[in-house]
Structure 1
Amino acid sequence: MQVCKLQELAVQLFDAGAVRLGDIEAKLGRRTPIYFDLRVVVSHPSIMMAIAQQLQILATEIEHDILCGVPYAALPFAAVMSVHANTPMIMKRKETKMYATKKILEGVFDKNQNCLVVEDVVTSGGSLLETVTTLRDEGLKVTHAVIVLDREQGGANVLSANGVQVKSLFTMTELVKILRDAGRISEETVEIVSDHIRECQFGMKDNLEQTAPL
């Protein structure tokens, strides 16, 4: 039953425009034949709910006291998970507030609480690792993250090397096979994406370059 629900969700994401095909410019000017944009899901409440429910299933296997979504795409999923599981949530700001409280984290938490991070997509792992670093700097324990898609380009390994285990709803390989079997994409597209995964792998060096100040 769980597999069927994930297959249905993958097709819904494609039909909603969250999966885009073509020669697309991604982060830092890199090119990709497939782009996963979960920001469109905020306009599809039923899909947003389905994603949050599936992420919550992963979360039940992980000990945690509090949730934090990586800004900005993952924030809606973390918020829905927080409400439905009655789990407190905090928010990381993109930058430290420059007035009043001057906080980098919004919400109430205690040092040494276990914080589960929620993310949409992991490619190099840079964005998620940046959030993890901030949370740890503020005294929280972070050992796990639940994500929607692992692009299988090395990010999960980078995060593991930094003490963060990633659990995903889909890997890119699984996603494209589901979409092919559902008649949404061709076998040729599956092969192009598979080649891209093999050819474009990220490691610690790439991760440090992405998280370094500009």
Structure 2
Amino acid sequence: MAEKLEDLAVQLFDAGAVRLGDIEAKVGRRTPIYFDLRVVVSHPRLMMAISRQLQALASEIPHDILCGVPYAALPFAAVMSVNSNTPMIMKRKETKLYATKKILEGVFEKEQKCLVIEDVVTSGGSLLETVTTLRSEGLQVTHAVVVLDREQGGASVLRANGVQMRSIYTMTNLVKILNDAGRISDETAEIVSDHIRECQFGYSV
């Protein structure tokens, strides 16, 4: 790959995509580290670099179509679609209440293999919501590629629901990279490690 994962991790931190502190996460629990990839849309080179890494993972998985989990993963899915000439569809947060009344936007056929793109997986809930919708529309979904696996049970939850996940980073190796680069202190790295071990999720749908 053109970009080293270590360099990319540091660039993400410097761009503000990695935030430290006592932060309330989407899942309703406090976390000492928060990964916010939404800021990457303002950094085209970073967005391209991440998309290339995701594409490298995707290239090993048979698929006909891409779908990004709304909303943070949509830019990456779009870049991957253009770069690989692979069709993309978009899942709406809610079913359209007028005209076509669709939950999925774009053109697809039943039984096509759909690869899901996600930014961060914690519990796996958001990704599973998208998987459930895609399957209900007749698509085959067995794999997902993600930027960060927070290692808090999401991968196990996804496996239990028939989805294999591949990630660019795990929280453990991301924190190690940032610690080695002097962006995160030893104390913070230990706090994050304890948090991962103590805050685990697990359920299936």
**TM-score for the superposition, normalised by structure 1:** 0.94
User: Which residue is equivalent to 1:141?
Assistant: 140
CA displacement at 1:55 relative to structure 2: 0.2
- Please name the residue that 1:189 is paired with: 188
Runs of 4+ with >2 A deviation: none
* Counterparts of 2:162 and 2:28, CA distance in 1: 28
Q: Could you give the per-residue CA deviations for residues 81-120 of structure 1, whole angstroms, max 9, x where no partner exists?
A: 0000000000000000001100000000000000000000
Amino acid at match of 1:190: A
Could you tell me which amino acid in structure 1 is paired with residue 177 of structure 2? I
Cα distance per residue 1:49-105 (max 9 Å; x no partner): 000000000000000000000000000000000000000000000000001100000
In structure 2, list runs of 5 or more residues that go unmatched. Answer: none
SS at match of 1:71: coil
| Equivalence for 2:87 | 88
How far apart in 2 are the matches of 1:29 and 1:74?
20
Which residue does the alignment assign to 2:67? 68
Letter paired with 1:124: S
Q: How many residues align?
A: 205
CA distance in 2, matches of 1:189, 1:195: 10
- Name the residue aligned to 1:151: 150
Looking at structure 2, the residues matched to 115 and 8 of structure 1 have their Cα atoms a distance apart, in angstroms, of: 30
1:10-89 matches, within 5 Å, as 10-89=9-88
In structure 2, the residue matched to 1:104 is 103
What CA distance in whole angstroms lies between the structure 2 residues aligned with 1:85 and 1:8? 24
Q: Residue 34 of structure 2 aligns to which amino acid in structure 1? A: Y
The TM-score, its normalising length taken from structure 2, stands at 0.98
Unmatched 5+ stretches in structure 1: 209-214
The aligned amino acid for 1:112 is E
CA distance in 2, matches of 1:27, 1:54: 25
Residue 29 of structure 1: how far off its partner (Å): 2.8
Give distance in 2, aligned partners of 1:20 and 1:7.
Answer: 17
Q: d(CA) in 2 for partners of 1:23 and 1:13?
A: 19
Residue 104 of structure 2 aligns with an amino acid whose one-letter code is: L
Q: Hey, what's the Cα distance between the residues in 1 that align with 2:87 and 2:168?
A: 22
Q: What is the aligned-residue RMSD (CA, Å)? A: 1.1
